[in-house]
Amino acid sequence: MIIEGKPMRNSKYLQIIAVIILLVGIGSSIYVNSERIDSTHIIVNGDEFTIDQLFNIAKEKSIEAESGIALDNLIEEIGMTNPEMFEYTIIGADGYQKTVNWENMRNGILTRNRESIFSDLPKAFRVKEIVVIKVE
């Protein structure tokens, strides 16, 4: 392209930069999706359950117009002794995770959509597509 008799040398560099940006975007999308865990099960303290099994184990509870099962009741029903002595890391299929204490678990639910909701924590603690609840 020529503007006022001078060739635009910068347009060649802009095209190269645009291609690099596209390649980085494609590469990062592939990486994120490859790190994703596809599971129809949730591992709770090392044991594998379906969402239906978890809903049969624990009591239902509602928080913020959402319903699910009480996380504290779930931990108690799977046989944890002294649950207040532990922390709980909730991990989503995309690798996103949050660690909470027992008091938070007492104020939390697990929805049928496999999402954690806590009445006492910010929305950043909502982990979606939960695949693991690790007791530490």
48 with 86, same domain: the answer is yes
Q: Which residues of the chain have pLDDT under 70?
A: 1-10, 31-39
Give the integer Cα–Cα distance in Å for 128 and 56: 21
What pLDDT sits at residue 38? Answer: 53
Helix, strand and coil percent figures for the chain, each rounded to 5: 40, 30, 30
121 with 62, same domain: the answer is yes
What pLDDT sits at residue 13? Answer: 81
What pLDDT sits at residue 37? Answer: 54
112 with 81, same domain: the answer is yes
18 with 45, same domain: the answer is no
Type of residue numbered 39: S
What pLDDT sits at residue 5? Answer: 53
